[in-house]
Amino acid sequence: MLEVQSLRVAYGAATALWDVSLTVNSGELLCVVGPNSAGKTTLINAIAGLNRVSGGKLLFDGKDLTKLAPHRFCDHGIALVPEGRRLFTSMSVRENLELGSYTARARIARAASLERVCALFPALVPKLDHPAGSLSGGQQQMVAIGRALMALPRLMLLDEPSLGLAPSIVLDMFKVISDIHAEGMTVLLVEQNVTMALQVAQNAAVLEEGRIVATGTPDELLAQPHLRRAYLGLGADESQPEAITS
């Protein structure tokens, strides 16, 4: 489905991504983990069309999207849940959700999509006509994910969905991500919470200083003590997390 080939992204003279290559297959949940400033957000924003690519290619279903205008990525079925949620806080929850269904195909299915989002996030139902800014951090993250679902994407990009959430909410959020994936959604997840990310992912890539330094299944990465210590933030004797099931 998605092929990232030797991708480079630079900010002026500073290169943020160096020849990054990865593949996300249809129906897969792939997570990209790594420390702060590794380039994770730069990578996912480039895949969403928000960062200009200085080298390499982005292929989606074999089509080259590298030089496509940012607003056209959604037309191809790619939706981003950005870091920090980026809601219009003075607008209602309903209005924020409906902003996700701006393509012609999504507009036709707007009512059904809203019903689906409400079924996935029942806590939002009594809040639909409240300002989005009045919601808790966890509820705002629900709106951000719901807005992306309203676009009827084939590939969902999630950038640090646990950021700023209370620990008690994080498990619920990853359960939702697992449920969305179980319904057939292809997901690329960027996340600092390595333990939770590896519980929901089928495959993972470790990003360090703008380079992919390791790839594999969660089991394969966790079996390597040097990766656990250096990149995954886990001690060699820590138990392996169990997968979250739908």
Average model confidence (pLDDT) across the chain: 91
Percent of residues, the chain, with pLDDT higher than 90:
75
pLDDT of residue 245: 58
Q: How is the beta sheet containing 14-24 ordered, strand by strand?
A: 14-24, 2-11, 55-60, 63-64
CATH code for the part of the protein at 1-77+154-246: 3.40.50.300
* Domain spans of the chain, in order of start: 1-77+154-246, 91-150
pLDDT at position 156, please? 98
Specify the pLDDT at position 198.
Answer: 92
* Length of the chain in terms of residues written: 246
Q: Is the pLDDT of residue 21 over 80?
A: yes
Average pLDDT (168-182) is 93
More confident residue, 104 or 209: 209
Strand partners, 14: 11
Q: What average pLDDT does this structure show over 67-74?
A: 89
pLDDT at 111 over 90: yes
| Global pTM value | 0.90
Distances (CA, A) of 93 to 74, 119, 152, 217, 238: 21, 15, 18, 37, 41
Q: What is the mean pLDDT of residues 22-46?
A: 94
